[in-house]
Amino acid sequence: MLTGQVALVTGASGPIGAAIADVLAGAGARVAAQYGTHPPQNAHFCVQADLAEPGFEQGLLASVQAEMGPVSLLVNCAADQAMQGFYDIDDDALARMLRVNVSAPLALSRAFVAQVPQAGVITNISSIEAQIPAPGHGHYAASKAALENLTRSFAATFGPRGVRCNAVAPGLIDRDGLDQDWHEGVARWQSACPLTRLGLPEDVAQAVLFLSSPRAAWINGSVLIVDGGTTAAGGW
């Protein structure tokens, strides 16, 4: 399905990013995996970059191009969840979160479009919190709402250049230790979700695969909600 494509996935050492990299590779793409501190295990090429650093995008794309050729699929998956609470987050942590979650996808997407040979696809990983933020998550939710607006802007701006852009908005995705770290949130989710379970990283990855593929050739500027129906049922 993606044979001959070169994909760059940011945040590829996290559970969702790693699943996206695996699924795209399984569909035939050659995958470059960006990471911050812990390199992922199963990518064709791994490259370290701090997405909060101004100008990171030029070095990141240059490294991938030198190893694999021009990138045709970009997945902006990296995110800073700013684990400090809404009332406790300091200015430095807030600024870093906004750089990683908003400024970095903007900068990298512009640089991506400048080097894409003919047609390309950008997929941004948002969150249902852009629409229905959990209590105390307003700062993170605002960054994802900004990313969804960038998605629509990218679709209109880059479309004439042959580049589609969409977003995937996951609900609560399971990971090791989540129930221990946030038992109250997990319980609330399971009672609100019509499918009565947490999402899996692979659920998000399959949505990204579809949007990256020719099967989604006329989908541009959309946000695909992947949350088991929780948003449709009124949120959590």
Q: Where are the domains of the chain?
A: 6-226
pTM here is 0.96
Predicted pLDDT of residue 83: 67
Predicted pLDDT of residue 75: 99
Predicted pLDDT of residue 189: 87
Class of domain 6-226: alpha beta
Predicted pLDDT of residue 226: 99
Predicted pLDDT of residue 94: 93
Residues forming the active site = 140, 144
Residues of the chain with pLDDT below 70 are 83
C-alpha distances in Å from residue 154, one per residue of 159, 163, 165, 222: 8, 9, 6, 11
